[in-house]
Structure 1
Amino acid sequence: MDLELALQTFFEESNELLGEMERILLDVEADNTTSEQLNALFRAMHTIKGSAGLFGLDIIVAFTHEVENALDQLRDGKLRLDDMLTGLLLRCHDHVKEMLAALAAKDSLDRFAQPELLTELAAYTQTGAAPEPEAAAPPAAAEPAMPAEPEPDEPGSGLWLLSLRFGPDMLRNGMDPSSFIRYLATIGEVEQIQAVATQLPAGADFNPETNYLRLEARYRSPAEQQTLADVFEFAREDSEVHIWPWPATPAQQAAALASADATEAAAVRAVWLRLGLDADAPTAAVGVDADTAWTYADADTPAETAMPEPEANATSSEPAQPAEAAPGRAKGGGEAKNAKQAESKFIKVEAGKLDSLINLIGELVIAGAAANLVARRSQQSALVESTQAIANLIEQIRAGTLSMRMIQIGEIFSRFPRVARDVSRELGKDIQLHISGAETELDKSMVEKLGDPLMHIVRNAIDHGIETTAQRLAAGKPAEGHVWLNAYHESGSIVIEVADDGGGLNQARILAKAVERGLLPADMALPEQDVFRLIFEAGFSTADQVTSISGRGVGMDVVRKSIEQLRGTIDIESELGLGTTFRIRLPLTLAIIDGFLVEVGAATFVVPLEAVIECIELPAALDRDSVHDCLNLRGELLPLLRLDNFLDLPAVAAKRRNVVVVHYGERKAGLVVDALLGEFQTVIKPLGSLFRHLKAISGSTILGTGEVALILDVPALIHHATQKEAERYTLPSPVREWEPGTSNPAAKTDRSAQ
């Protein structure tokens, strides 16, 4: 039997059970817990314990056995699932998940042998209640307490923990990380040092000029901390250097791990343990900035450590709303919180095999189009019918194959109730999270890339969007804040909304901050949407103070770039004092789409079919350059965009010109083309780096003739057409055009004037 394969199955099954356990704990209500939910909690831990026993994982078996005892008493009615027990069980869930992560990373489980959680579990199972910290027993006079053994290394003994995360460009800048260590050896003794290489890529991704290593050292020196810090003076610009007296406190440990992802954090903790540092000490509540992978500790509970996020299940139930919420506790809401998940049978397929299959389907689509073209040119009816039948089968195969990649977006949404709960506790806010549309399906490759952008937006909504309880009461609002997370399909796209009922975006404050940072001159006026887009600029923040959650001005620029890489857009609606809505629009798939072929000049272009509303003939009065590039479409003013002029293509003589009416969201425009060539299955081929700046083109495809056709970027074209028409009817004003991302709009205006 392949032990590695069996272990991988154990990891997948355990992560699924832990995910179910977390959802149930966030879903239950203290006074309305069903026996089915309690039995599911018990079964999850019991199954993990039994599977761990098959592999001889005694430490996991011992811990899960104690959790199982508590859950057994819970379902027997001896314990009540109150807020404190829920928090304890969530921390037990995290502890098991961390042990599994360490096991998967081939780390020793010895450091998990005697966790402090066992003491809290014992207090519950033996007394049926949480331990009372004030109820300490009076000291007994007859038996004096034994003196505690002195620590081998006390703070101030000249022993230091060095956590050195040099920047990736250090080697390019002519600096050698080992030179810093050699210098430290001249003013002290490097007792132990180890490298953390979790960021080291393999194969072609490795760049010999890039630094990937992080160093952790136990260092002894009588020098002052400032003296040691001065050693790294020239490396401070793009590096992260932490120098803490040994032993580092939990808060210092958390600060050293603030910018690390889950894998790196686990590896660093393992190194600290080998150096002799107690990395399992209770940690203070710590969150990372919005530009890093999310890791945080429960604000009022000990021993929260960084762990990799497990793969979510293919199906998930939404958390229910508790009847009562203590201040600082986030509650989850869902559409089908009491519905039982339907039993399904799944066959797990490696993602690479599915990607290869879709690539082959794409080539089959192209080959089918070529065969169909040859058949039509031959004018043999039997051959045309045969190729058409093959084309229909290819269409069905294409749809079925793409549906294999479609998974419910609830896979992402399922992690946010826990995030909202922990972050709101850390901030001391009372926030309720509402989730809807979790069953909406999206391409798996896009779901995986949406996690971080949505995490940034949700965390910012909780931190900056929702006011404090005092501020909400002063404004006449209920003390409880609300955050909504919703997904739905619209016109061949998927829309994801993150909304809150907080204070909204202050346009005046955003403009003032933009002027302060030199993003635009003081006399420039911007439309509302352009003002809101300023928050996506790198380093932009209006926060009064930096918190452990956000406020450094990083993260939102990453959100914009991530969405654009997925060929999507993000819009903002906000009203001061009422709240803000972030609306993300994405295509359903990045592989194969239905297209509509049009001809402009001597070139052929593809318009995504889901964006096409109708096609009409261009009136003769508007056939050539007219005063107004707009059309009266059944009483609606439709802005026109002449693609030959826009793309600078030579004009050709045509009997008639046509208008393809397209839309994106609520906006419409008409694309003026020379000929309509009909529908076409389009295999999207990415453009090279040379063409990435072209906003009107989103990709390319190969036609049945072997020619390359460019795919039009409909959102960008509609934005250009509507903006141009709006400027035509706008009275002259001091408003100057500015595009987000330009650093000197004044210089841009001067050049355009010349």
Structure 2
Amino acid sequence: MNLDQALQTFLVESRELLEEMETCLLSLEEAEEKSELINAIFRAAHTIKGSSGLFGLDGVVAFTHVTESVLDRVRDGRIAISDPLIALLLSCRDHIGTLIDAVAADQDTTDPALTAQGAPLLEQLRSYLGDPATPASSNLAPASAAATEHTAQRLPPAIATQDHWHISLRFGADVLRNGMDPLSFLRFLETLGQIGEVLVLHDKLPEASKMDPESCYLGYEIEFNSNASKAAIENVFEFVRDDCQLHIVPPHSRTSDYIRILEQESHEASTRIGEMMVHCGALTQQELDTALHAQAVAPSPPPLLGKVLVQQQAVVPEVVEAAAKKQAQLKELHAQESRSIRIDADKLDQLINLVGELIIVGAGVNLVAQRANITELQEHTSKLSSLVEEVRDSALQLRMVKIGATFSRFQRVVHDVSRELGKDIALVINGEETELDKTVVEKIGDPLMHLVRNSMDHGIESAADRLARSKPAQGVLRLNAFHDSGSIVITVEDDGGGLKRDKILSKAIERGLVESGHHLTDSEVYALIFEPGFSTADQVSNLSGRGVGLDVVKRNIAALRGSVSLHSEEGQGTTVSIRLPLTLAIIDGFLVEVDTSVFAIPLDMIEECVAFSAEPGHNYTNLRGEILPFIRLRELFDIRTPAKRRENIVVLKHSGQKAGLVVDTLLGEFQTVIKPLGKLFNQARCISGSTILGSGEVALILDVPALIQQATQGHTEFKKSEALALA
């Protein structure tokens, strides 16, 4: 791993930490137990600061250091958590994100424009620290000075007592290859306290002819004065924790703790380290001489720490056994974590494309095998098809991500917008574990954002209006996701004032969208708000009125082969339901034929297939006592050749509705690779894409929601005309 790769890892992890920081900050107000959330926020800021220090990102370190100082006082209980402080820390989180973006864009984080942007935030932070005159970078200045003197074996001692930490550090050979600078850890360590004495060891340095310039042979013995916790000091070395030997001895430790460090070194190194400990008051000269003599005459390696503690009667054997068991569990957990790897999204897309081509070629091979009528060849192609299907499922699973990350973004939106509007709104999230294709997740964010803002701005009333209507002062906005019939359904629900049916209808008549006196169902009336530019809002705010821009929402969802529906009760609230496919790449399809034309239908939307039966002139049939409207595919695509055999009905189901599709022949299941049709066919109804058959021919993929809607509307209009005829 080179430095550029390490920097990219830093950027990814920093953004993840910022997301965690934001989530915890937004959860603080409602949480009964706040300490763990505060610790998580502190750890996120601390880790970002430490990692930034390793890469010399002084602008990030300087700003995050002050933020961390405030969080440290919050953690200690010296600063009480409050709504203004949460708002300030959220703004600080945003500025750190801006600095991280600047790093990604290869900009200097100490740029005056960025510094000026963060200055008001620093001023507010320092008001909590009670030290507005102290510059944020004051703690960083001594680090560079100390670093320049590390070529000497020892720095002047600053501590004459044993009231200090002792850090014993031996770097692994690959530290330099992994892009780490050993001096950067000392620089970062000084942000936590004062380094008193440093002994630089290079005992493992081979002869010049055998020396590898890319290998690290360094070790440090450090006397360190700080009020930081042991965990905080360990976090300084987080990036090399798996590639170094680290021992941290707390202040006022027993002599045996220091001697144990000496026992692990060669006699020459132990002598030098011991002299340092004597110099700093950790050991007496007599204790050092005794330890060195014991090391020289020791017949075997020093005993394990657990045995030493038991022999000294410091702990009982049960405690050592429990600790060993816990250590084994942690190792197992670490092994599981190490099995996870990050994969570039473009590589996954390329894999899906190749799997799609493999499926198409496999279909061609199957067709050739059938025509050849060779039993052995057919068996092997059948087995190949099964393996290709497993590869397809595994590849698609790699692209499945949880929608929870998308939902979590709206915690901040609701927090900020509700305060901007002067409303009290709570966000309730369900179904965060629901998975769908990453491409769908990426493209659904903007439509959801628009719907959420609309619900907050014009759906949920002010606290005064809600109380006047005997409703709780706090409005509730709910986001939910769940699987249904091979699709994912996302709902945005508010408990606001709901949509005014009469107002929408009169506005539609005024604009000429609906003829006066024309009867519409509630769902048809509510669907009018998705017409371009349609709005009933009395005032249009910067968040847009309910309806403004909803045509764009509908168009974006339709581009994902999805559909949107709306249900509302005046005075009770509104629910917008978005139904989306799980994936946009490969699906299980079912092939049907009309005359010589082949069509594909998503298999998960097919309920069953039955023989055609209907009275002449009727567009519905009796399906076991249930009226099933249907649409003739022959008439839909203007295929004028009459059917040569008895027709079949494919029963489709989507969003709780059923409809039939009349076709000539049922060809069976087919792995369908979805190919876009291009801009020329964007306005074509009832077609959602195309696929390539094994013969090389193109088959159209039918848009089931549009077909069901057309069949249902056709049946409704037929019933109306029949009723008028009878009248």
TM-score, normalised to structure 2, is 0.68
Q: Which residue of 2 aligns with 1:573?
A: 567
Q: Which amino acid aligns with 1:24?
A: C
Cα deviation for residue 52 of structure 1 reads 1.3
Question: What displacement does 1:344 show?
Answer: 7.8
Q: Give, in whole Å, the separation in 2 of the partners of 1:489 and 1:546.
A: 35
**Kindly tell me: are residues 90 and 511 of structure 1, through their superposed partners in 2, closer, same or farther at Cα, counting changes over 3 Å?**
same
Larger CA Rg, structure 1 vs 2: 2
Q: Does 1:682 align with 2:672?
A: yes
Please report how far the alpha carbon of residue 29 of structure 1 lies from its aligned counterpart in structure 2 after TM superposition: 3.9
Q: Deviations over 1:421-441 (max 9, x none)?
A: 110111111111110011111
Q: Which residue of 2 aligns with 1:711?
A: 701
Distance 2:23 2:473 in 1: 26
Alpha carbons 1:30, 1:83 under 8 Å: kept: no
- Whether 1:487 aligns to 2:477 is no
Structure 2 vs 1, CA of residues 731 and 705 (structure 1 numbering), >3 Å: closer, same or farther? closer
* C-alpha displacement of 1:650: 3.1
What is the rounded CA distance, in whole Å, between the counterparts of 2:26 and 2:74 in structure 1?
16
Query: Could you tell me how far 1:525 is from its partner in structure 2?
Result: 4.2
Deviates more, 1:680-689 or 1:486-495: 680-689
| SS, match of residue 44 in structure 1 | helix
Residue 455 of structure 1 deviates from its aligned partner by 0.1
**Corresponding residue number in structure 1 for 2:112:** 110
Equivalent of 1:433 in 427, 434, 444: 427
2:3 paired with 1:13: no
Per-residue displacement from partner, 1:243-286 (whole Å, max 9, x unpaired)? xxxxxxxxxxxxxxxxxxxxxxxxxxxxxxxxxxxxxxxxxxxx
Q: How many residues align?
A: 519
Q: Secondary structure at the match of 2:599?
A: strand
- Aligned pairs for 1:459-470 (under 5 A) are 459-470=453-464
Q: How many Å separate the matches in 2 of 1:727 and 1:721?
A: 10
User: Cα 1:385–1:552, aligned 2, differ >3 Å: closer, same or farther?
Assistant: closer
2:432 partner letter: A
* Structure 2 residue aligned with 1:642: 632
Deviations 1:590-647 (A, max 9, x none): 111100111111211111100011111123xx3xx71322121111111121211222
Aligned with residue 501 of structure 2, among 496, 507, 510: 507
Distance 1:345 1:485, change over 3 A: farther
Whole-Å separation in 2 of the counterparts to 1:733 and 1:527: 17
Q: How large is the RMSD of aligned CA atoms in angstroms?
A: 2.4
Determine the C-alpha separation between the residues in 2 that align with 1:611 and 1:675: 18
Share of identical aligned residues, percent? 56
Q: Which amino acid aligns with 2:115?
A: A
* Residue 691 (structure 1) shift: 1.8
1:547 paired to 2:549: no
**1:693-722, CA deviations, whole angstroms, 9 ceiling, x for partnerless residues?**
211111111111111111111111111111
**Alignment map for 1:77-88 (pairs within 5 Å):** 77-88=77-88
Kindly provide the amino acid, as one letter, of the partner of residue 56 in structure 1.
Answer: G
Aligned match of 1:363 = 357
After superposition, the C-alpha distances for 1:58-104 in whole angstroms (9 at most, x for unaligned) are 22211111111122222222223222222221111111112222333
Distance 1:68 1:585, change over 3 A: same
Q: Superposed, which structure 2 residues align to 1:716-727 within 5 Å?
A: 716-727=706-717
d(CA) in 2 for partners of 1:438, 1:542? 33
Pair 1:552–1:399, CA change in 2 (3 A): closer
Q: Corresponding residue for 2:95? A: 95
State the 1:502 CA deviation: 0.7
Q: Structure 1 residues 574 and 31 mapped into 2: Cα distance closer, same or farther (>3 Å)? A: closer
Mapped to 2, the partners of 1:728 and 1:378 lie a distance apart of: 50
Q: Deviations over 1:405-436 (max 9, x none)?
A: 11111121010011001101111111111100
- Which of 413, 433, 456 is residue 450 of structure 2 equivalent to? 456
State the alpha-carbon separation in 1 of the partners of residues 547 and 20 from structure 2.
35
681-690 vs 103-112, which deviates more?
Answer: 103-112
Distance 1:651 1:30 in 2: 67
Structure that is richer in helix per residue: 2
1:443 offset after TM fit, Å? 0.8
Aligned AA (1:120): Q
Give the alignment partner of residue 702 of structure 1, picking from 692, 695, 702: 692
* CA distance in 2: counterparts of 1:466 and 1:454, whole angstroms: 16
| Deviates further, 676-685 or 71-80 | 71-80
Q: Secondary structure at the match of 1:62?
A: helix
Does 1:126 pair with 2:120?
no
Which deviates more, 83-92 or 665-674?
Answer: 83-92
Aligned partners of 1:365, 1:608: CA distance in 2, in Å?
16
SS of the aligned residue for 1:729 comes to: helix
Shift of 1:653: 4.6
> Partners of 1:671 and 1:112 in 2: how far apart?
61
Report the 3-state secondary structure (helix = DSSP H, G, I; strand = E; otherwise coil) of the residue aligned with 1:346.
coil
* 1:17-53 Cα distance to aligned partner (Å, 9 max, x none): 0000000111224672343322221111111111111
1:331-366: per-residue Cα shift (whole Å, max 9, x none)?
A: xxxxxxxxx9x9685322222221111111111001
Q: d(CA) in 1 for partners of 2:35 and 2:129?
A: 19
- Tell me how far apart the structure 2 counterparts of residues 417 and 31 of structure 1 sit (CA, whole Å): 14
Matches within 5 A, 1:25-174: 25-29=25-29, 32-108=32-108, 109-113=111-115, 115-126=119-130
Bigger relative contact order, structure 1 or 2 (CA pairs below 8 A, ≥6 apart): 1
Report the 3-state secondary structure (helix = DSSP H, G, I; strand = E; otherwise coil) of the residue aligned with 1:442: strand
2:374 to 380, 400, 408: 380
Alignment of 1:509-524 (within 5 A): 509-524=503-518
Residues 344/645 of structure 1: CA separation in 2 closer, same or farther (3 Å cut): farther
2:408 maps to amino acid: S
Deviations 1:149-175 (CA, angstroms, capped at 9, x unpaired): xxxxxxxxxxxxxxxxxxxxxxxxxxx
Partner of 1:442: 436
> CA–CA distance in 2 between the matches of 1:78 and 1:369?
69
Give matches, 1:202-241, under 5 Å. Answer: none
TM-score normalized by structure 1?
Answer: 0.66
Runs of 5+ unmatched residues, structure 1: 129-339, 735-754
CA-to-aligned-CA distance 1:381-404 (integer Å, 9 cap, x gap): 211111111111100000000111
2:530 to 533, 536, 545: 536
Matches within 5 A, 1:291-330: none
Separation (CA, whole Å) in 1 of partners of 2:77 and 2:361: 66
How far apart in 1 are the matches of 2:647 and 2:567? 38
Aligned match of 1:608: 602
Match of 2:24 in 1: 24
Structure 2: distance between partners of 1:733 and 1:389: 57
Q: What letter is aligned with 1:123? A: S
SS in 2 for 1:656: coil
> Structure 1 residues 574, 125: closer, same or farther in 2, change over 3 A?
same
